[in-house]
């Protein structure tokens, strides 16, 4: 039996995987099980399986991108879900984990790569966020919220869930009329424009993406609020002034652990004495780890999803009080499923924009990320901080009441 067959036999127990090898052999793994996918794949050359065995995380993605691994029954999301659902994070087995030696090498190289200096940070952001506007229009909601939505009901539309996410965050900020808000990593401006529209707050959004900046400024001009909602191309480390509130959604993943203390110190220093910050970030449910090589190479160079322990440790000693923590477990899984479905529906348009390997890359990225939230160790954290323990009400009732009013 080929090594890849031994690997898959250990991996697939529930659900079924049929593999057509390049030499004409066919192998079947697992047993049809309600709730688990049934998938058929084909290796188009003899080297594809070996590449996957050498480095599963990188090899599988590249094999799919370049047509060396073809899914003939189901699709790549079904394949990823089949493999990950057989080994959920809670079980602690992780059959796809790298060897101890490989993990040690990855840990060293990853720590070096996570030193996210300012010039590299801008280049890393451009790699992902300065892609064609048309691409993001094809799979995001109309407001271009490119972060975890908030599903009060899993059956809700993506548009509803993203609107509810903005309300959920705004309520935690406890905004009052006349406040000044800093939006760190403002994306295409949706959150900043929402906060102003709902509360009248003046907002400064900062980004390192030139393409996002153009869109955000255009949206503010078109809404007639460019004097109240401003956007600047600037690193958060160089922002000056004082703000009543700070919000940061989906940006902390790009800061890098070496700069976590700098981030929290800067945010605290930018806030007024009664200031509040809401940080929304992807995180690890377990201990610190490393970003897989495929994601680092193709999707988010310099990106890292922190463990909660890393966030808390970085804030220790700053006298910046952690006032609330919420763990969103499945919400990003629902969000990524919606993005995946829209990406697949827009296949021809994406191939026309780029090419077939790019489309498969994007498809694999969304499928893998979705599985990481459904079965892996990724979650979303929302953490609220305040400079003064007396600033906010002493119960969470105000969050619920504020969210209902906004929705």
> What CATH number is attached to the domain comprising 13?
3.30.1050
Q: How far are the Cα atoms of 48, 162, 244, 260, 281 from residue 83, in angstroms, in the given order?
A: 18, 29, 46, 34, 26
Residue 202 and residue 63 share a domain: no
Residue 105 lies in a domain: no
Residue 392 and residue 253 share a domain: yes
Closest to 296 measured CA to CA, from 365, 397, 231 = 365
Query: Residue 189 is part of a domain; what is its CATH number?
Result: 3.40.50.150
SS3 354: coil
Quote the CA–CA distance of 344 and 336 in Å, as a whole number. 12
End position of a domain, from candidates 65, 97, 129 = 97
What's the pTM?
Answer: 0.91
Residue 93 and residue 159 share a domain: no
Residue 261 lies in a domain: yes
Residue 85 and residue 192 share a domain: no
The backbone torsions φ and ψ at residue 226, rounded to the nearest 5 degrees and listed phi first, read: -65, -20
Residue 124 and residue 178 share a domain: yes
Residue 321 lies in a domain: yes
Residue 107 lies in a domain: no
Residue 348 and residue 210 share a domain: yes
Residue 89 and residue 126 share a domain: no
Residue 110 lies in a domain: no
Residue 230 and residue 89 share a domain: no
Residue 150 lies in a domain: yes
Buried-state track 195-208, b at ≥16 Cβ within 10 A, e below 16: bbeebebbbbbbbb
Residue with tokens 């007024």: 272
Residue 264 and residue 148 share a domain: yes
Residue 153 lies in a domain: yes
Into how many domains does the chain fold? 2
Residue 111 lies in a domain: no
Residue 199 and residue 233 share a domain: yes
Residue 347 and residue 229 share a domain: yes
Residue 336 and residue 238 share a domain: yes
* pLDDT in 10s for each residue of the chain, 407 residues: 588 999 999 999 999 999 999 999 999 999 999 999 999 999 999 899 999 999 988 999 999 999 999 999 999 999 999 999 999 998 876 544 444 444 444 444 444 444 555 555 555 544 455 567 889 999 999 999 999 999 999 999 999 999 999 999 999 999 998 999 999 999 999 999 999 999 999 999 999 999 999 999 999 999 999 999 999 999 999 999 999 999 999 999 999 999 999 999 999 999 999 999 999 999 999 999 999 999 999 998 889 999 999 999 999 989 999 999 999 999 999 999 999 999 999 999 999 999 999 999 999 999 999 999 999 999 999 999 999 999 999 999 999 999 999 98
For residue 8, the enclosing domain spans 3-97
SS3 26: strand
Closest to 362 measured CA to CA, from 17, 65, 164, 147 = 65
End position of a domain, from candidates 38, 64, 97 = 97
């Amino acid at each position: 039996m080929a090594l890849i067959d031994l690997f898959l036999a250990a991996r697939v127990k529930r659900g079924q995987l049929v593999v057509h090898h390049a030499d004409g052999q066919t192998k079947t793994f697992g047993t049809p099980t309600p709730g688990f996918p049934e998938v058929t794949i084909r290796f188009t050359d003899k080297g594809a399986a070996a590449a996957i065995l050498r480095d599963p995380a990188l090899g599988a993605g590249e094999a799919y991108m370049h047509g060396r691994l073809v899914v003939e029954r189901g699709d790549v999301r079904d394949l990823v879900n089949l493999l990950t659902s057989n080994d959920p994070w809670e079980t602690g087995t992780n059959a796809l984990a790298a060897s101890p030696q490989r993990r040690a090498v990855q840990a060293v190289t990853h720590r070096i790569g996570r030193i996210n200096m300012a010039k590299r940070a801008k280049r890393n952001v451009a790699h992902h966020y300065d892609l064609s506007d048309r691409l993001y229009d094809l799979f995001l909601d109309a407001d271009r919220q490119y972060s975890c939505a908030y599903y009060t009901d899993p059956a809700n539309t993506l548009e509803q869930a993203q609107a509810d996410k903005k309300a959920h965050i705004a309520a935690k900020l406890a905004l009052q009329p006349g406040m000044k808000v800093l939006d760190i990593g403002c994306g295409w401006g949706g959150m900043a424009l929402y906060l102003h529209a709902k509360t009248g707050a003046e907002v400064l959004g900062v980004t390192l993406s030139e393409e996002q900046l153009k869109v955000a400024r255009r949206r503010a001009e078109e809404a007639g609020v460019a004097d109240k909602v401003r956007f600047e191309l600037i690193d958060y480390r160089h922002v000056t002034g004082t703000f009543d509130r700070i919000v940061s959604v989906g940006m902390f993943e790009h800061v890098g652990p070496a700069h976590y203390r700098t981030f929290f110190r800067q945010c605290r220093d930018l806030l007024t004495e009664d200031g509040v910050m809401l940080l929304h970030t992807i995180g690890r449910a377990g201990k610190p780890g490393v970003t897989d090589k495929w994601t680092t190479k193709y999707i988010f160079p310099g990106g890292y999803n922190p463990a909660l322990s890393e966030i808390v440790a970085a804030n220790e000693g700053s006298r910046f009080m952690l006032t609330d923590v919420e763990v969103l477990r499945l919400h990003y899984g629902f969000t990524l499923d919606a993005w995946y479905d829209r990406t697949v529906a827009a296949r021809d348009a994406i191939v026309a924009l780029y090419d077939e390997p790019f489309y498969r890359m994007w498809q694999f990225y969304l499928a893998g990320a979705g599985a990481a939230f459904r079965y892996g160790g990724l979650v979303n954290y929302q953490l609220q901080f305040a400079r003064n323990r007396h600033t906010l009400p002493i119960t969470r009732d105000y969050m619920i009441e504020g969210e209902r009013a906004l929705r």
